[in-house]
Amino acid sequence: MYNMDRLYEAVAARGPVCAGLDTDPAYIPPAERRRAASDAEAVLSFNRAIVDAAADRTACFKVQIAYYEALGGAGLEAYAKTLAFIRSRGCLVIADIKRGDIADTARRYAKAHFEGDFEADFVTLSPYMGMDSLEPWLSWADTKGKGAFALVRTSNPGARDFEYLELREDRADTGGGPDGPSQARRLYHAVGDKLAELAASRMGRHGYGALGAVIGCTGREEARAIRERYGGLFFLIPGYGAQGGGAEDAALLLKEGNGGVVNASRSILRAWTAKAGEAGEEADNAFAGEAAREAVIAMGDSIRAAAAKTAGSRGAGL
């Protein structure tokens, strides 16, 4: 059984929210931060509180390693312990590391992030160097069920710089089929198409491969087209909330409310400030955890409601 199957089942049971532990020390209630021996320790304690409070309504957690690297060796220790804590609670964790390097190096990276101190259930990958930078990770799907999400189309403004570039291809390939003229293929389509092919070689029991795609939450027409084109790819969907995407945008990238997880981080980690204010002297980690849990529930409910509406309009022939 692949972790991607477990993730599908987690979405079915707990909703589509992926809670991002991109924990800047500045996000932590001030009293807790002062109490901790170091920022790295403050981050770890805070993360534990969030995980404990929100786990039963969260499909998975995603940990952005940059926030931990920025705290040096102690930060990476907090990173390792955060991953271990999440997994000890029976939850799935995505290591957001966006690695991408040649085959020999990819094998070392895979060892680093799929076993030992930094073991995660999934990683994120960057495809620029080509498929030989992605394939080595898949042997871990075979042996331990591990999964990965490769960048396809992201939601940052810079996505337009390269991901959206239109490709020059033989006319035979782009002349359109019986459904009319086809759209020009963009770089992100080339990446997604090759990923979909590779994912098909590791197909799980719920119709999704062990390799998925990072698809940012922007643009409705595009979201519909992408969801249709990549039926066998499970999506990791960033760009919700802070980056501008809403519940309906996210829902369009799901299939019947599953087939993807929607990531939010700051709005969850900092939900406590809406209740306690920025200063929040009275707030502690338990308070922050409770606020995070409420934020996760509200977000999950919005996306599920939007997904139900989408399914309804699809059923009506739209």
Task: List the one residue from 13, 139, 142, 161 that touches its own copies (CB under 8 A).
Answer: 161
- The Cα–Cα gap between 162 and 128 comes to 10
Q: Is 297 in the site for its own copies (CB under 8 A)?
A: no
Q: Whose CA is closest to 46, among 70, 16, 66, 25?
A: 25
Q: Is 317 in the site for its own copies (CB under 8 A)?
A: no
Q: Mark the segment that binds its own copies (CB under 8 A) among 29-37, 107-115, 229-237, 302-310.
A: 107-115
Which runs of consecutive H residues, i.e. helices, occur in 22-126?
30-35, 39-54, 66-69, 72-88, 103-114
Which positions from 191 through 230 interact with its own copies, judged by CB under 8 A?
191, 194
Closer CB to its own copies, residue 64 or residue 267? 64
- The Cα–Cα gap between 88 and 240 comes to 27
Which positions from 120 through 149 interact with its own copies, judged by CB under 8 A?
126-133
- The Cα–Cα gap between 206 and 203 comes to 8
Look up 98 and say whether it is catalytic. Answer: yes
**Does residue 70 sit in helix, strand or coil?**
coil
Task: List the one residue from 77, 144, 202, 304 that touches its own copies (CB under 8 A).
Answer: 77
**Does residue 69 sit in helix, strand or coil?**
helix
Q: Is 168 in the site for its own copies (CB under 8 A)?
A: yes
Q: Which amino acid is at 45?
A: S
Q: Is 305 in the site for its own copies (CB under 8 A)?
A: no
Q: Is 84 in the site for its own copies (CB under 8 A)?
A: no
The CA–CA distances, whole Å, from 231 to 34, 117, 253 equal 48, 34, 10
Task: List the one residue from 112, 276, 286, 298 that touches its own copies (CB under 8 A).
Answer: 112
Q: Is 190 in the site for its own copies (CB under 8 A)?
A: yes
Catalytic residue among 98, 144, 194, 275: 98
Closer CB to its own copies, residue 191 or residue 254? 191
Q: How many residues bind its own copies (CB under 8 A)?
A: 58
- The Cα–Cα gap between 31 and 58 comes to 26
Closer CB to its own copies, residue 41 or residue 52? 41
Q: Mark the segment that binds its own copies (CB under 8 A) among 25-33, 167-175, 275-283, 301-309.
A: 167-175
Both structure tokens of 264: 């939010």
**Does residue 299 sit in helix, strand or coil?**
helix
- The Cα–Cα gap between 8 and 254 comes to 11
Both structure tokens of 305: 């409601």
Closer CB to its own copies, residue 55 or residue 93? 93
- The Cα–Cα gap between 159 and 153 comes to 7
Q: Give catalytic residues, as residue numbers.
A: 98
Residues of this chain that bind its own copies (CB under 8 A): 22, 24, 64, 66-67, 69-73, 75-77, 80, 98-103, 105-106, 108-109, 111-113, 116-118, 126-133, 151, 154, 156-163, 165-169, 184, 187, 190-191, 194
